[in-house]
Amino acid sequence: MTNPASTVGDLRVNGERLWASLMELAQIGATDKGGVCRLALSDLDKQGRDLVTRWAREAGMTVTIDKIGNGFLRREGTDPSLPPIMTGSHIDTQPTGGKFDGNYGVLAGIEVVRTLNDRGIRTEAPIEVAFWTNEEGSRFVPVMMGSGVFAKAFTLETAYAATDTAGKTVKGELERIGYIGDEEPGAHPIGGYFETHIEQGPVLEDHGVTIGVVTGVLGIRWYDCVVTGMEAHAGPTPMALRKDALQVATRIMQEVVAIAHRHPPHGRGTVGMVQVHPNSRNVIPGRVKFSIDLRNATDALADAMDADIRAFIDKTRQETNLPITLELVSSYPAQPFHDECVAAVARAAATLGHSNMPVVSGAGHDAVYMARLAPAGMIFIPCKDGISHNEIEDAKPEHITAGCNVLLHAMLERAKVVG
Amino acid sequence: MTNPASTVGDLRVNGERLWASLMELAQIGATDKGGVCRLALSDLDKQGRDLVTRWAREAGMTVTIDKIGNGFLRREGTDPSLPPIMTGSHIDTQPTGGKFDGNYGVLAGIEVVRTLNDRGIRTEAPIEVAFWTNEEGSRFVPVMMGSGVFAKAFTLETAYAATDTAGKTVKGELERIGYIGDEEPGAHPIGGYFETHIEQGPVLEDHGVTIGVVTGVLGIRWYDCVVTGMEAHAGPTPMALRKDALQVATRIMQEVVAIAHRHPPHGRGTVGMVQVHPNSRNVIPGRVKFSIDLRNATDALADAMDADIRAFIDKTRQETNLPITLELVSSYPAQPFHDECVAAVARAAATLGHSNMPVVSGAGHDAVYMARLAPAGMIFIPCKDGISHNEIEDAKPEHITAGCNVLLHAMLERAKVVG
């Protein structure tokens, strides 16, 4: 055996093995259109967990399951007293999900361990791969359930009590599939956390760049806005006597987008859901309810966008004399990643010769909760047309491999190779 | 008996009798909330028709039913060879309709005849009161079915074949309730036509005026507009890389209203129906379909509005590079009323001392089709808050009486009292 430390720089994962594992896991819940339906805590999720933990044991790892069903696959370090350098993600999918979202992050971690095993490389700190329960939130809410309980964002009891549309509880389903463990969620030190993930957006593809060095996750503000006008017949009601709720609502919808443009480069503003009442061709709308989604890279910027939409609605209320309500329904703080972890990802990408750029994550990930507990960072790779949460979700094998190599070297930098 | 001609100017209808008839007819299909549900060709419609024709016979009128179920209640003139001066409307209602829409126009006609009978007044031309089948179009389309067949806007066969949601046909239901007559629709001369109706809008109430002298009915253009963007996750997709169908659609929705304001005083622009796909809070809309309703007092003005919306959509398509389609789904020409009939209504209102103003009708009425066949006019009275097609539809007894007196004198001017 060669001296591991002297050759670490040349170390590369086995991309074909990783791809083969991704494709094999994707068979569990495979859909006709090439996607995956493997809802959290379903029979298929159990099969996926069984396969992943089998692979982990075959790679010499120990398996610990906590009370919310999170799995920790551990490769011991030379100093077991050190907290592990962890990677992970989730293996549950959306009902019409793809092969890569989440699954890639877990299997990339296993490939890192397989690669270290191949070369007999030992690390001072242990290496762990986590799979977090119910990240998607399709069957049970809240989303990012396992990592959220782990980070004490909400209680185990809250998570246990969540029910699906058939009335089944998280606790009951965890018991049923045999993935309710003994360990208290969170009673598990973490020395550092990395997560590889497809971008789920178009930025890397648009720039022709392989690796996104994720600097943080956008803060999110979700609102419901309701404009109340006066329902009236579109024919006999002159313009001057109308109280057209949609005409007023569309002004606010336009402003949502304008606010995002006024807070670049990461400001985002979306109206995704609109309900018009009574929604009849020849009736002036009497009531319009719509969602507002504002995001930005810091809470200060998200707060500035919040202030802008409130001011605009106040002004519109005064100008139109119509009741307009704005209710904040959810708020997620912005989560910058740790400077050293971000730098480790950038260094690894540069060393490996992969084009890379700093990016933000517009969507939530388990890494957001881990960043509350330990230094954390993320690695993005491009996905085709920026599409995810869709059966046509796709990623190139060379990007899958590249992201995993970046993960390997970033983790080794933190876990320290034994020379 | 006094000489009728010498006292015609003093002639007034019996407002209490008219009101009592309206309230009695409103019992047939009365709803808990004070409205009426008497759908066309239902058992309740039959009961309503039976009551109205009984009242007509009691007033000495003959009853003729045509093949589409229109009823013609005739009081003979001294010169039976003259075409009748006709009034009328409909007695079918919306599912959650009111007591006055349509019903008022028919019963006002019967009250005119009762008043003439009370005073023994004879007219040269016959007086007729029509009730037109299925004006509302709630159960069967097209709307204004009876008057439309009468005016040959569409064929009897088309109307017969129309089905309700249970699959029952107009022809079958006409036979079932016993209101399929022998007379060919349209084979019935008309010397002039007047229709009294609640305004169904807020203009008269807003002006504090009793009588609306209706100068015509707005032309209508109905469109479906579809904007196709790219569905994408609201978080990871930066503003510059979005194809937000709703953001583009709301620009067009704003323009619909702006176009109406640019074509005063009768231009009207309404977006009543909006469908957003996939209509999810954190997904940028990939497709938005919405209705456009443009109206104006002349076809030239409606055409100008049509040109404006097409030009704006062309410009928007070029600016955004997104597919935008605009489909004209219905078009109804503007229908000015006859100068002499309009003048007769204005004169009658003035002679009676009722405040009055010229108004347009934004909604369709049976009078629109009659105006294609004979000199025609309409008389509007205020309705509470401009609301109709609603169980809370309401009108004041003094306005009901005033409108009927105007009808009486306008009809007598055309039918000529025998002195």
Q: Is B220 on the interface with A (CB under 8 A)?
A: yes
Q: How far is B290 from chain A (nearest CA, A)?
A: 9
Residue A3 has a pLDDT of 46
Residue A239 dihedral angles phi and psi, to the nearest 5°: -55, -40
For residues A156 and A101, membership in a common domain is answered with: yes
Residue A2 has a pLDDT of 45
Q: What share of chain B is helix, strand, coil (3-state, %, to 5)?
A: 40, 25, 40
| Single pTM value for the model | 0.90
Instruction: Please list the ranges in chain B whose pLDDT falls under 70.
Output: 1-6
Q: State the burial class of residue A379 (Cβ atoms within 10 Å of its Cβ: 0-12, 13-18, 19+).
A: buried
**Angle, nearest 10°, between helix axes B15-25 and B43-58?**
150
Q: What string of pLDDT tens digits covers the 419 residues of chain A? A: 444 455 788 999 999 999 999 999 999 999 999 999 999 999 999 999 999 999 999 999 999 999 999 999 999 999 999 999 999 999 999 998 999 999 999 999 999 999 999 999 999 999 999 999 999 998 999 999 999 999 999 999 999 999 999 999 999 999 999 999 999 999 989 999 999 999 999 999 999 999 999 999 999 999 999 999 999 999 999 999 999 999 999 999 999 999 999 999 999 999 999 999 999 888 999 999 999 999 999 999 999 999 999 999 999 999 999 999 999 998 999 999 999 999 999 999 999 999 999 999 999 999 999 999 999 999 999 999 998 888 899 999 999 999 999 999 999 999 999 97
Q: Is A235 on the interface with B (CB under 8 A)?
A: yes
Domain's final residue, options B332, B356, B372:
B332
Angle at A288 between CA A285 and CA A289, to 5 degrees: 165
For residues B43 and B172, membership in a common domain is answered with: yes
Domain's final residue, options A332, A357, A391:
A332
Distance separating the N- and C-terminal Cα atoms of chain B:
13
Angle at B12 between CA B11 and CA B18, to 5 degrees: 145
Closest by alpha carbon to B360, among B277, B263, B289? B263
Residue A7 has a pLDDT of 73
Residue A30 has a pLDDT of 97
**Neighboring chain A residues of B199 at a CB cutoff of 8 Å:** 236
pLDDT in tens, A169-202: 999 999 999 999 999 999 989 999 999 999 999 9
For residues A95 and A185, membership in a common domain is answered with: yes
For residues A55 and A129, membership in a common domain is answered with: yes
* Bridge partners (DSSP) listed for residue B222: B293, B330
How far is Cα of residue A338 from the mean position of the Cα atoms in its chain?
17
Residue B335 has a pLDDT of 97
- Provide the CATH number for the domain around residue A68: 3.40.630.10
- A 10 A CB-CB count for B228 gives 18
Interface of B with A in 288-347 (CB under 8 A): 291, 293, 295
Radius of gyration of chain B (CA): 24
For residues B94 and B199, membership in a common domain is answered with: yes
Closest by alpha carbon to B292, among A277, A238, A234? A234
User: Closest partner residue to B261 among A233, A239, A254, by Cβ?
Assistant: A239
Interface of B with A in 97-136 (CB under 8 A): none
Q: Say whether the peptide bond before residue A333 is cis (omega within 30 degrees of 0).
A: no
d(CA A275, CA A228): 12
Place of tokens 């007769």: B344
For residues B226 and B93, membership in a common domain is answered with: no
Residue of B nearest to A254 (CA): B247
For residues B127 and B210, membership in a common domain is answered with: yes
How far is Cα of residue A44 from the mean position of the Cα atoms in its chain?
21
> What are the helix (H) ranges across A264-298?
none
Angle at B12 between CA B407 and CA B377, to 5 degrees: 5
In the three-class reduction of DSSP (H, G, I as helix; E, B as strand; rest coil), residue A90 is classed as coil
Residue of A nearest to B281 (CA): A272
Instruction: List the domain range (segments joined by +) for residue A340.
Output: 4-217+334-415
A334-350 b/e with 16+ CB inside 10 Å = b?
Answer: bbebbeebbebbbbbbe
- Provide the CATH number for the domain around residue B307: 3.30.70.360
| Best of B206, B233, B255 to mutate (most A CBs within 10 Å, chain A) | B233
d(CA A51, CA A30): 15
Closest by alpha carbon to B238, among A132, A204, A228, A202? A202
Q: Is B244 on the interface with A (CB under 8 A)?
A: yes
For residues B249 and B378, membership in a common domain is answered with: no
Tokens of residue B174, six digits: 């006409």
Tally of domains within chain A:
2
For residues A99 and A226, membership in a common domain is answered with: no
For residues B200 and B139, membership in a common domain is answered with: yes
d(CA A236, CA B361): 6
Give the CA distances from residue A288 to residues A54, A226, B151, B255, B271, in Å, rounded to whole numbers and listed in that order.
Answer: 52, 6, 40, 18, 12
For residues B208 and B265, membership in a common domain is answered with: no
d(CA A291, CA A252): 11
Q: Is A268 on the interface with B (CB under 8 A)?
A: yes
Q: State percent of chain A over pLDDT 70.
A: 99
Subunit contact A238:B268, Cβ cutoff 8 A: yes
Reported as type and span, the H/E element at residue B410 is helix B397-415
Subunit contact A282:B270, Cβ cutoff 8 A: yes
Domain's final residue, options A332, A351, A371:
A332
For residues A256 and A368, membership in a common domain is answered with: no
Residues A279, A296: contact at Cβ < 8 Å? Answer: no
Angle at B200 between CA B194 and CA B202, to 5 degrees: 120
Query: Letter for the amino acid at A360?
Result: V
